[in-house]
Amino acid sequence: YAPPAEMTERERIVAMIQKSLKQNINVESLARALHMSRSSLQRACIRHFKIGPKELITQHKIQQAMRLIELGSNNVASLAFTVGYSNVNNFISAFKRMTSQTPKEYMKHNTSLRNSTPRT
């Protein structure tokens, strides 16, 4: 998969991360897929997102996990695998680092919000 050439560099980076989430993407494979060196990717991420590529990939994985939880996903191991983590503990650590909650805490909070929302 190669992102369309008419996309901006920023859009190409985001599109490739989103497309590759389930494949346990890392900085090296992202750079390769974008036909960039690691250092070029690092500079591009800092320029466009103000963070490095590793943190950008992690952000996208955790944001996707949060969306899945909001849609009702409630199995942490399955969720970790779905967003590209092969190690559940690494997923839990990354999730907590980004959200200040474990995935289970986020699920519990989200379930209570869904259950308290009036249905029309």
> CB–CB of 83/64 below 8 Å?
yes
**Which residue did the predictor score with more confidence, 120 or 64?**
64
Categorize the per-residue pLDDT at 51 as very low, low, confident or very high, splitting at 50, 70 and 90.
Answer: very high
Residue-level pLDDT at 65 = 96
Residue-level pLDDT at 90 = 97
Both tokens of 45, joined, read 């991420």
Per-residue pLDDT, averaged over 84-113, amounts to: 92
Average per-residue pLDDT for the chain: 89
> CB–CB of 41/34 below 8 Å?
yes
- CATH classification code of 9-116: 1.10.10.60
Give the 3-state secondary structure of 69-85: HHCCCCCHHHHHHHCCC
> CB–CB of 77/88 below 8 Å?
yes
pLDDT more than 70, % of the chain: 88
Domain boundaries, the chain: 9-116
Q: What is the pLDDT of residues 34-49, one digit of tens each?
A: 999 999 999 999 999 9
Q: What is the pLDDT of residues 61-94, one digit of tens each?
A: 999 999 999 999 889 999 999 999 999 999 999 9
